[in-house]
Amino acid sequence: MRKEHLKLTEQEHSYLITLTTSGQLKARQFKRAVTLLLLNEGKTLSAVSRTLKYCYPRVLALRDNYLENGLQCLEEKPRTGRPPLIDGLAKAKLTALACSSPPEGFARWSLRLLADKAVELDLVEAVSHNEVGRILKKTNSSRI
């Protein structure tokens, strides 16, 4: 006898089949949908984890999430993280500053000099020279 880990309704099953065959899903959503379909077929949790190269607890968590929230488990939840401290306008001004002529007594801008000047001009509250380097690395500027 097969152990049923979850039972999809006919409507949910056809919806997941449509989603997986459309080619419009993100990889994570596709993998979640296929996991639900395989569990619906009666495959064991460990067989699904081996087939999809998911760790066992992830398959277990997805099943529990489906039982609790339905097909909402396919959606991405907002991720936590520190918000960016430097917005796009400050980055643009920092890049423009790097392209300007250096202060008197210096041949060119250094990353530390740019970081100090950005704080002095109130472009940002605080910034490290490493962060200035990362910002300028994303531009096509060869000034630094």
Q: What is the pLDDT of residues 38-86, one digit of tens each?
A: 999 889 999 999 999 989 999 999 999 999 999 999 988 888 888 888 8
Contact 94, 118 (CB under 8 A): yes
Query: Global pTM?
Result: 0.58
Q: How far apart are CA 41 and CA 4, in angstroms?
A: 8
